[in-house]
Amino acid sequence: MFYQLAGFGSEIEKWFDRDRDYQYRNLSQVVYKILADSSPVNNVDFKKEADVKKEGSSAIELVLGITSKGASYVLLTEQQMLEIQRVLETRNLRSQISRMKFASLSPIYFNSGIELQKKLSLYKCNFKGPKNEDNSVANKGYRRESPARAYFEQQRLLWHVINNSISKKKFLVCDEAMWVQSMPIVSFSYNDWRFKLKEERRADPTILEIGLASLPCQAFTEREDYRSQIRSFYITIKENQIFNGERKAPYLYGDEEILTQEEIKSRLNGFFDSLSVKRALFLVFDAEWTESALKKLDGIQGRQPSRRYMENGESSTNVVERERSRSPRWRNGPQPFPRSRSPKIERTEPKLSREIDDHRKPESRSGSEERKPLKLYLIDIRSIFLTMSGTDKIKSPIDLASRLGISISDDSPCAGNASHLLIEAWVRMSSGKAIDEQSEELKKQKILSNTSSEKIEEDNKDLSLDAAPMTVSEAVENSDEEEDPNAMFADNYAPRNDKKVEEHIRGEMGPPIPEDDNYDSDQSFG
């Protein structure tokens, strides 16, 4: 059971002065001091969660509960509540909250009473609004079922489970969920031919290149940088090289492989076989588009009915439609991931995100025994970023990484590099602060970035005004050869009617861009 610290329906607020501003200030300071001074169970090393300016400053760890509609509440555990009641010598509260009310339970940290006060002040309800609903700044926008925010917080919970940095009992994590600590993380990225209508690209992509990377979850718990344990490969599809007319960034983690479609399937099988596990986390940029690409790769040797999913020991040949699956079963009742359609598996196994198969035909074993497909628990990096940031569009893994402040040496597409960026993006978000705090930091970074860009433009503008422009006559005099100075603009403004250029574009890059709303050349996955 939990106790709601502040906001709509909180009984704890009645302990303090009725003046609203003073109430939250007093409540925050008292709660922080009691928990910070109490037993170590209420404290954590905060250095992994945020930069601590003062050495030795401690943080309190509370519980952030998010409902299936996205509303959030700061919660106290029963043990924390008993400690506060003991110090304040107050009566027991009756307003306990069941864990079943929340779609996710995750840690949230406060390094001072001021930080806690700032958070709790967002839960003050407006007395002018309806009295039977939460109209606070923090929660007034969440009225419909939408598990996306809870799904983001489940990533943070997953990170802490992998790193064994939280109390399982405190966050109601069942013992069977601890298998994730021995599971690898796999990321997949691809680039396709972009000169198609959007729906055509989604349904039948012309895949130009793929990138695949993996690392064990144990890498996050070691002192060595986890990046050094990532192994990956980058493949260009030989048959589709004719379509690849764009500049590609150099692959930073090895040599590019150019393989036929037949060779690629064997390469993918070898990669997944080398994992030697039954299941893995599978990071992708866009779940819907990526699944179409995986189906296309699955059909390289001809689409034949094969055992794709296992359900209670029996096979399923369903290729297109899949039943809805639940998110990871942590015991705190996570809700389904949006648009999740995946097969049912044994109820004794915990579920993580959307489950898909590894798109391989099981190899025959002795007798009738067949190799079970690897279970891949899909995590949509694009989806969790859009949920956290509040934006409605992101172009590519490069764009996403750039917004998260991840260093990028070349912004040209490369599926191999993108597979590494997806891992870094997941680590950056899942190891960071709670969803609203990350969103706030992202907005501040954007404001600072825009301010810096505007200043650079102003400086460049001032410099251009200081320099006297060269006249056409001066340009002619300074030129070694006599030529029409207007010729320097001819290439830029000449009509593009060269037949050879047009044929080149049609032959390698596809047809000219149609004037159609369904066309989307910005969508990229590497």
Is the residue at 509 inside a domain?
no
Residues 175 and 324 in one domain: yes
Q: Rounded CA gap, 144 and 146, in Å?
A: 6
Residues 28 and 100 in one domain: yes
Q: Rounded CA gap, 278 and 505, in Å?
A: 46
389, 409, 433: which is the final residue of a domain? 433
Residues 140 and 160 in one domain: no
pLDDT of the chain, 526 residues: tens digit per residue: 899 988 887 877 666 655 555 556 788 888 999 999 875 544 444 334 443 333 335 889 999 999 999 999 999 999 999 898 888 887 777 778 888 999 999 999 999 999 999 999 999 887 776 777 888 889 988 888 989 999 999 999 999 999 999 998 899 888 777 788 889 999 999 999 888 888 888 888 889 999 999 999 989 988 889 999 999 999 999 988 888 667 889 999 999 999 998 899 888 888 888 888 888 999 999 999 998 898 888 644 333 323 232 223 333 323 223 333 333 343 333 333 333 333 332 323 334 344 555 544 544 444 444 556 788 889 999 999 999 998 888 989 999 999 999 999 898 999 999 999 999 999 999 999 999 999 999 988 877 666 555 555 555 555 444 544 444 344 334 444 443 333 322 333 333 344 443 333 333 333 333 344 444 545 555 5
Residues 161 and 291 in one domain: yes
Residues 77 and 164 in one domain: no
Residues 311 and 367 in one domain: yes
> Rounded to two decimals, what is the model's pTM?
0.73
Instruction: Count how many domains the chain has.
Output: 2
Task: Show Cβ contacts of residue 384 under 8 Å, excluding neighbours closer than 6 positions.
Answer: 148, 151, 152, 155, 429
The two tokens of residue 258 are: 């150019």
Pair 26, 16: CB distance under 8 Å? yes
Where helices occur in 330-434 by DSSP H, the ranges are: 381-389, 397-403, 415-430
Is the residue at 487 inside a domain?
no
Residues 122 and 200 in one domain: no
367, 400, 433: which is the final residue of a domain? 433
Is the residue at 316 inside a domain?
yes
Q: Which domain holds residue 95?
A: 2-146
Q: Rounded CA gap, 9 and 313, in Å?
A: 47
Is the residue at 168 inside a domain?
yes
Summarised one tens digit per residue, pLDDT across range 379-408 is 999 999 999 998 888 989 999 999 999 999
Pair 334, 327: CB distance under 8 Å? yes
170: domain CATH number is: 3.30.420.10
433, 448, 471: which is the final residue of a domain? 433
